[in-house]
A and B are shown apart, each in its own frame.
Chain A
């Protein structure tokens, strides 16, 4: 049972707190009640600062039932007096519990929504290998299963989705680009931006291409400027100028201030196409450094955009013997991603 302070005690306390006489406080409270009543009669609402808001609510006539006898009775139309405390008072009274927040109760599907997102976020690598290597075997078998299933789905999606949808060759022969770029039609519904799918990570051929010995020929590949047209993607432009779509990060590198997201080009934008000292098949040392820098820029941007592929661009660079370029970007590259690239041998795309 709740204790209740008597009215005279209340008056005593208030008189003590405010320094006013008891009779004055007594009158004040009685008058306050009276004025409140008048206010409710007149306006239907009374606001008392610091305490709350009193309001009258009118209820129309309705039929109810006597709970004891079940007999129907008519409840006449009447008023009720409602009170809503000010937020100050509410917060003050509730301060003990104020920090608590409602919590979601998982009743129906307890495992599915809870467990998979956690490994998915913490371990962005869609690979089983690092998990096994890190000694994750000790984990309980069921949670291990939940880790692996989404990872397999991601790996499968990663392998099949880009190659089917965008005709972007996953690895294999560079010759594929020539035929496949012609297949790509400009998408009519995209009026302002052209999506570009930079799936053209031509990892194996890059590794094969870096023969500094062949750079003496000095034929070179001319650059230029190019206005973006509908249907253009960075890799189609790269294919046009360099005859190799996978070199698109090199174009991206010099147009960083014109392109926000490497997947999206604005129509009408003038892109600078950097020249190459060698041919795409015989890149010079400097070419490779520049292209590597381009790949790292793509990695950084994809990382910023939260794209899964980001680390594969870094992985490409790590296979290139361009340590000084990596050193240059050292403080911007995530150590975990660098570690990831060193743990993989062979293409992560063909697994």
Chain B
């Protein structure tokens, strides 16, 4: 499902124009981004939880250069699906799979 399909479906369900949905969705995501940046997790019922954490620097082997590399620390976003979503999708087999 693409972003435009998502916006279209939401606009039908909430009875709002697509551009309005687009604006609100963008605003929501921007707010979520800001909250995540403050090291605060965000959870949406029925959807899941977003958190950020810092991966420590670590040693890794670069097979191309055949050298050990020290990878720098990195701050990443992690998503954990809500248990209800996980359960509902757990055994759903897609047709084209």
**A7-B40 Cα distance, complex, nearest whole Å:** 12
Known: A14-B28, A39-B1, A104-B67. A31 touches B75 (CB 8 A): no
Segment 45-67 of B: residues with Cβ below 8 Å from A? 45-49, 51-54, 59-60, 62, 65, 67
**Chain B proximity of A53: nearest CB distance (Å):** 10
A82 to B51, CA, bound (A): 14
Give every chain B residue within 8 A of A20 (Cβ-Cβ). Answer: 24, 27
Are B28 and A18 in contact, CB atoms less than 8 angstroms apart?
yes
Whether B70 and A32, one on each chain, are in contact in the complex, defined by CB atoms closer than 8 angstroms, is no
In Å, the complex CA distance between A37 and B87 comes to 11
Number of residue pairs spanning A and B whose beta carbons lie under 8 angstroms apart: 201
Instruction: List A residues 35-54 near B (Cβ within 8 Å).
Output: 35-52, 54
Knowing A17-B27, A107-B68, say if A90 contacts B77 (CB, 8 Å).
yes
Q: Is the CB of A79 within 8 A of B42?
A: no
Contact of A14 with B27 at beta-carbon distance under 8 Å, contacts A37-B89, A47-B3 already known: yes
Q: Which residues of A contact B51 (CB under 8 A)?
A: 2, 4
Contacts of B71 in A (CB 8 A): 102
User: Could you give, for residues 282-314 of chain A, a 1 whenever the CB lies within 8 Å of some chain B CB and a 0 otherwise?
Assistant: 000000000000000000000000000000000
Q: How far, in whole Å, are A28 and B39 apart by their CA atoms in the complex?
A: 24
Contact A30/B45 with A10-B35, A25-B24 known, Cβ cut-off 8 Å = yes
**B18 at the binding interface (Cβ < 8 Å):** no
Quick check: A79 and B69 within 8 Å, CB to CB? no
* Residue from A79, A85, A89, A93 within 8 A of B92 (CB atoms): A79
Could you say which residues of chain B place their CB within 8 Å of the CB of A52? Answer: 77, 79
Per-residue CB contact flags for chain B residues 1-13 toward chain A (1 = under 8 Å, else 0) read: 1110110011001
Residues on A with C-beta less than 8 A from B48 are 81, 83
Q: Are B74 and A81 in contact (CB under 8 A)?
A: no
Inter-subunit contact B21/A28 (CB<8 Å): yes
Give CA–CA (A44, B94) in the complex, Å.
7
Residues A18 and B24 in contact, CB atoms below 8 Å apart: yes
Q: How far is the CA of A106 from the CA of B30 in the complex (A)?
A: 42
A11 CB to nearest chain B CB (Å): 9
CB-CB contacts below 8 Å: A81-109 with B? 81, 83, 85, 89-90, 92-94, 96-97, 100-107
Q: List 26 A-B contacts (CB under 8 A).
A: A2-B53, A14-B28, A14-B31, A18-B27, A25-B24, A28-B14, A28-B21, A28-B28, A29-B28, A33-B45, A35-B13, A36-B6, A40-B1, A43-B1, A44-B96, A44-B97, A45-B1, A47-B6, A49-B29, A56-B94, A79-B90, A81-B86, A83-B48, A83-B79, A103-B70, A105-B59
By a beta-carbon cutoff of 8 Å, the part of chain A in contact with chain B is 2-5, 7, 10, 13-14, 17-18, 20, 24-25, 27-52, 54, 56, 58, 76-79, 81, 83, 85, 89-90, 92-94, 96-97, 100-107
For the complex of A and B, 10 pairs with smallest distance between CB atoms: A39-B1, A100-B72, A83-B79, A33-B47, A18-B27, A4-B41, A49-B3, A33-B46, A102-B69, A81-B81
